[in-house]
Chain A
Amino acid sequence: MQIQSILKMSPGCRLHPTQDVLLIPEGTLRLSGPSREVLMRIDGQRDVNAIVEDLLLQFSDANPDEVRRDVLTLLDRLEQRGVIKA
């Protein structure tokens, strides 16, 4: 996972329309904290950096370095799980 990676959701994976849950084949992943805010921004066009910039507009008090690190950690984990693809 790179800061310039452009991400998309894997087939069969989508956010629940209202609940903090990611629906995946044969399972569900409960989303904690701002994970949903991150996943909502994965559209197959924006790279990780653009997602972080956009998040910082919404969470203006947050430390940009921490947000970048947390987002990369989350996305790495989801990529390993096959839920998103770079």
Chain B
Amino acid sequence: MSEPIQALPPPLSLIAELTHRCPLHCLYCSNPIELQRAEDELSTEVWQRVFQQAAELGILQLHLTGGEPLARKDLPELISAARAAGLYVNMITSGIGLAEDRLRALLDAGLDHLQLSFQDIEEISANHIAGTRAHAIKLALAPVLKKYPLAFTINLVVHRMNLDRLASFIELAEDLEPDRLEIAHVQYYGWALKNRSLLMPTEDQVQRSLPIVEAAKVRLKGKIHVESVFPDYFGSFPKACVGGWGRQTMLIDPSGTALPCHSAAVIPGLSFDNVRDHDLAWIWNNSPAFERFRGDAWMPETCLACPRKERDFGGCHCQAFMLTGDANAMDPVCSYSPHHSMLQLLRQPSSETFPIWRSS
């Protein structure tokens, strides 16, 4: 008997979707159309075991997300188990339900970093986009966060409805004094795809936004670290989605299914494994869904011959599937893709679209 081959490097981050319950109903929600139900969520004990296994596998960063992680009453226990295992603990939250005593409990448990997103600078529009009255609560939370030794990121999610106000939107974020600022164009996955023609910025908006973002990076250097996510429908080359399929990232959904990314379940024919049945190391090394697009065996000839394949790993398979019906196709964002011209049509904003919210 020989030892199993351990050729794969371990993943860097684990995304834990603790629950799909959420008080917000954002138009651009990246969670799947079909959400997992509360009664199917993993127990405290299973999540704690998963975090221990993640650290043993070599994972460094844990991202607690949802839905809204605060909907889990056992959040302090989950955070302290993750910290005890040696993970860096980040929480992505709407801030709804984060009273100061609860915040203190999370900090005592070892929370390292928190990410708070904003939907717009004006309250009416922000609440419209979030599908609920959240803006004032978020604004009130930021100064409370500043009282504690906690790093926080403000994430400005931008699209056609708010991109014209980007400069003042950045000023609002600056006033709240975060450690990091993310300016992220909506990506069209999950629920967001339903609202694509409503959210799609115009070419002119995108062009005007780029120098504003670059200027903010320069101006805030050494004070607030600024990162931006480019709207890839406007690009010529695809993003290295999740750092490459099955290379850096593992996502566990609320019911324990292990996925290579947020949206992998849309791809037909993939077989996923569950943390109730297998440990993370087994899943990382053996789960067919993670194996499916590793390396370059799946690649069309154009990608195989392309020097960029080491940089973008062929782009996003979910996007290839959603736009062309074939997950093996090249990501249409790539200008070498035979489908690239379809993006030009999809970039045309429609004036006759209405917002579609999730029903609560």
Interface residues of A (CB under 8 A from B): 10-14, 16-19, 21, 23, 25-28, 79-82
Contacts and interface: CB of A to CB of B under 8 A. Distances in A.
Contact of A17 (B86, B151, B180): B86
B71 interface: no
Contacts of A13: 151
A25 B60 contact: no
Interface string B86-117: 10101000000000000000000000110100
B225 A81 contact: yes
A12 B222 contact: no
A10 B12 CA distance: 22
A79 B222 contact: yes
A10 B222 contact: no
Contacts of B151: 10-13, 25
B149 A80 contact: no
17 contacts: A11-B149, A11-B151, A12-B113, A14-B112, A16-B60, A17-B86, A18-B86, A19-B60, A21-B60, A23-B61, A25-B151, A26-B90, A26-B113, A26-B115, A26-B180, A81-B225, A82-B224
- Size category of the binding interface on chain B: 20 to 34
Contacts of A27: 61
Enumerate the 8 nearest inter-chain pairs by beta-carbon distance, A residue then B residue, closest first: A12-B151, A23-B88, A25-B113, A11-B151, A12-B113, A82-B225, A25-B151, A11-B149
A82 B113 CA distance: 14
Contacts of B225: 81-82
Given A12-B179, A23-B112, A25-B180, A80 B222 contact: yes
Given A11-B179, A12-B150, A16-B60, A82 B112 contact: no
Q: Which of B61, B115, B224 lies at the interface centre, i.e. has the most chain A CB atoms within 10 A of its CB?
A: B61
A23 B113 CA distance: 11
Contact of A11 (B115, B150, B221, B222): B150
A20 to B, nearest CB: 12
A12 B222 CA distance: 15
A10 B225 CA distance: 12
Nearest to B12: A28
Contacts of A79: 222
Contacts of B90: 25-26
A12 B88 CA distance: 9
A52 B224 CA distance: 28
B153 interface: yes
Contacts of B86: 16-18
A79 B225 CA distance: 11
Interface in B169-184: 179-180
A24 to B, nearest CB: 8
Contacts of A18: 86
Nearest to A11: B151
Interface string B198-236: 000000000000000000000001111101000000000
Contacts of B115: 26
